[in-house]
Amino acid sequence: METKDISKVALGAFLISAGIGHLTFARKEFQAQVPEWVPLKKDDTVVYSGIAEILLGTAAIVTPQKYRKTMGKVLAGFFVAVLPGNIAQYRNRRDSFGLNTDSQRLARLFMQAPLIAWALKSTKD
């Protein structure tokens, strides 16, 4: 198995684990990241996004070579789409996942770029 394939499987496993966390042990933590402008209940948003993460993680692992580049773009788009939640957590000073200072919450914002890069690099030809 190539390094790129290992990276892709690790990304998929990361997303599946995060999705399971949305649905179970970290549900309240994820609710702190839901922006006020989202028109759904916070818990519903967390559940739906958890399901999406499980599906995306699974797809990252099983997508045929022919579609991997497209899958990488979809995954990168997902990481961009959840950025407003991280911004909301920072702006509203909501503690979760051990992020209980402004500097920690701000640092979390910069983790999206490596996730986007991971999605694109692990799925390119």
pLDDT of residue 25: 96
Cα radius of gyration (the chain): 15
Asked if residue 83 belongs to a domain, the reply is yes
Task: With a cut of 90, say whether residue 42 has pLDDT above it.
Answer: yes
Asked if residue 12 belongs to a domain, the reply is yes
Domain that includes residue 102, residue range: 3-119
* Number of structural domains in the chain: 1
Query: In this predicted model, what pLDDT tens digit does every residue of 47-80 receive, in sequence order?
Result: 999 999 999 999 999 999 999 999 999 999 999 9
pTM, whole model, 2 decimals?
0.93
Asked if residue 125 belongs to a domain, the reply is no
For residues 33 and 85, the answer to whether their CB atoms sit within 8 Å is yes
Asked if residue 124 belongs to a domain, the reply is no
Where are the extended beta strands (E) located within 23-89? none
What whole-number distance in Å separates Cα of residue 73 and Cα of residue 60? Answer: 11
Asked if residue 106 belongs to a domain, the reply is yes
